[in-house]
Chains A and B, each alone.
Chain A
Amino acid sequence: MKILMEGNEAIAEAAVRAGCRAYFGYPITPQTQIIEYLAKRMPEVGGVVLQAESEVASINMVYGAAAAGARVMTSSSSPGISLMCEGLSYLAGAELPCLIVNVMRAGPGLGGILPSQADYWQATRGGGHGGYRSLVLAPSSVQECVDLMKLGFDKADEYRNPVLILADGLLGQMMEPVELPELCETSSANKPWAATGLHGRSHHNIINSLDTVPERLERHCLHLEDKYRQIASAEVRHETFGDSDARVVVVAYGTVARIVRSAVERARAEGMKVAMVRPISLWPFPSVGIDEASKAAERMLVVEMNAGQMVDDVRLAVHDRVPVRFYGRQGGMVCSVREVFEQIVALYKEVPEYVHA
């Protein structure tokens, strides 16, 4: 049965259904509804919600709860995620599973409270110090928010690694019908590494990211690298739409991808050969999928709500074989279907000149 839910609340309910029983967070627009919803909902399932004194504290509470074997999450928006980056690095280093939701707002600095995708680099390159990776998932509908929450928690546990849900302010606030999964429970019993107290265990568990012996620390780094390689090969997710022999291929994620899809549909209706690729996992990036979709392409277009960040990854994906153009809006401005359509038309018109040049 489908029910109508706002993105933020759907994310919160999906967390509960996915067995998350601990949430630590600090209010920030446009995602404060998550902590407000959970403040009412968590007690019903015996879970914990705590409003921390800062995002620095929230992420470290997440670190503690994850260390103790709990299925745990936090959520925030851009400035708050910046404060969490230290903790993210520690979580990755100590190999602790957790889920972090970033409902992005415009930046830099305090920026604005309206939607943005300007944290792509921060999310996909780590954000914090030390060279680590988080699995980054980008939903484009409220239903997909729900689905990726469960997947995210499961993958976090599977790889013992932080997972980031990268949404934009539009998704947080929009109402859409969703199908919710059944409520499930998880336990720390299948996390034998966790610091749960000995309770009869003979060796003590240590959760740690420090090693002052370089040979051992290098081994740990190599182990992490190996894990990231596994994630990179097994967890790529994307969606392709349009003509397989497209001359123009558009790449967009999140809510922008919905606008792009409408523009692509319109262009195809007018007889143009166009396709789009929507990355669902931003790291690992669907480079192969993009490369394949652009086999016949003469132009690529990347549309983002920033000054051009994912565009770098698209250029790498097509090895600069195809010219990659960028169209973006910033500061909380959202591109329209017409704007994107005009970009496609303009690129399409460029093609013959390029080909015959």
Chain B
Amino acid sequence: MSMREVFHRPEALADVATHYCPGCDHGIVHRLVAEAIDELGVRDSTIGVAPVGCAVFAYNYWSVDMVQAAHGRAPAVATGIKRVRPNDTVFTYQGDGDLAAIGTAEIVHAAARRENITVIFINNSVYGMTSGQMAPTTLLGQVTTTTPGGRDPQRHGFPIRVTELLNALEGPVYLARTAVNTPKNLNVTKKAIRAAFECQIKGQGFSLVEVLSTCPSAWGLNPVECVGWLENNLIPHYPLGVVREPAATPKEEVAVGAR
């Protein structure tokens, strides 16, 4: 009997167990990043930057050279790496607290400089690592440990749409928001991550993929319920699609259906 391999570990994914909770999307996105690195043949020349957040141990999960950055500073760290090693592929992997709260200045300016790096941005609408506080992406009404009565715009302000915010800048070359809730969207995310890395490899400049992700632990839902919550709440507020591509003019939006 012959066996057909249907699933294998990408070379860029280290052969170690991750610490993520069951049903967490971090692991899925790690895999997609590894597949893109393998397919583009850049594993040997890639340097990744890990954030502070649940993905802090990501330096162990990819079999490429890795640098751990202070909370929110990954785009600045990646800039330093890229500027002295312009021929290598440099990416950051950041959560929404890391990227859109404490690291807002660093991401905005890396994007504005058209820094030739790739950013994988995990938007799970909460601080996972510190167990479920409000994030800059927390939806209005959403209950977190620091918004026990739900996020109230009067007191806590409004959620930030990072992809749209960065789309107001001239700098970015590729901006997309995706999700990994269905097999189809998994493929879309994979394509987007690949396209983002390709921008960098071609020397075109700053690329970012925002991936809407689940956090079963902080959301207090099981993995299946999480998918439903993401579809009913996150996606409507954070529309999926590629909003900036190398060929497109800065303001042009390419609408892609939500699912």
Contact = CB atoms under 8 A, between A and B. Distances in A.
Interface residues on A, range: 35 or more
B248 interface: no
A196 B77 contact: no
Nearest to A24: B80
A199 B44 contact: yes
Interface in A329-351: none
Interface stretch (A86-94, A244-252, A258-266, A307-315): A86-94
Interface in B95-117: 105-106, 108-109
B232 to A, nearest CB: 35
Contacts of A195: 47, 65-67, 81
B88 interface: yes
Contacts of B67: 63-64, 67-68, 195, 206-208
A200 B80 contact: no
Contacts of B44: 197-200
Given A60-B80, A197-B89, A208-B66, 19 more contacts: A24-B80, A50-B79, A53-B109, A56-B73, A61-B77, A63-B76, A63-B77, A65-B81, A67-B81, A68-B81, A68-B85, A90-B70, A195-B65, A196-B47, A197-B47, A198-B45, A206-B59, A206-B60, A206-B68
The listed residue with most A CB atoms (<10 A of its CB), out of B14, B66, B73, B106, is B73
Interface of A: 21-22, 24, 48, 50, 52-54, 56-58, 60-70, 72, 86-87, 90, 94, 195-200, 204-210
A202 to B, nearest CB: 10
B182 to A, nearest CB: 32
A22 B83 CA distance: 8
Interface string B29-67: 000000000000001111101000000110110111111
Rank and list the top 3 A-B pairs by shortest CB-CB distance, nearest first: A64-B80, A60-B76, A61-B80
B65 A204 contact: yes
B78 interface: yes
B81 A86 contact: no
A86 B77 CA distance: 13
B84 interface: yes
A50 B63 CA distance: 30
A204 B64 CA distance: 5
Contact of A22 (B57, B80, B108): B80
A60 B88 contact: no
A64 B49 contact: yes
Contact of B70 (A53, A60, A205, A207): A60
B59 A67 contact: no
Interface of B: 14, 43-47, 49, 56-57, 59-60, 62-70, 73, 76-85, 88-89, 105-106, 108-109
B69 A65 contact: no
A65 B83 contact: yes
B84 A22 contact: yes
Given A198-B43, A199-B44, A209-B68, A57 B76 contact: yes
A53 B105 contact: yes
A50 B46 CA distance: 22
A61 B68 contact: no
A207 B68 contact: yes
Nearest to B43: A198
B153 to A, nearest CB: 28
Nearest to A71: B84
Contacts of B88: 196-197
A52 B83 contact: no
Contacts of B63: 204
Contacts of A209: 68
Nearest to A22: B84
B105 A56 contact: yes
Nearest to B65: A195
Nearest to B57: A210
A209 B88 CA distance: 23
A68 B80 contact: yes
A204 B66 contact: yes
Given A24-B80, A68-B81, A70-B84, A63 B69 contact: yes
Contacts of B65: 195-198, 204-206
10 contacts: A48-B83, A50-B79, A56-B105, A64-B49, A66-B80, A196-B85, A204-B65, A205-B65, A206-B66, A208-B59
A210 B40 CA distance: 30
Contacts of B57: 210
B167 to A, nearest CB: 19
Contacts of A87: 70, 73
A48 B79 CA distance: 11
Nearest to A199: B44
A72 B81 CA distance: 11
Contact of A64 (B46, B59, B77, B108): B77
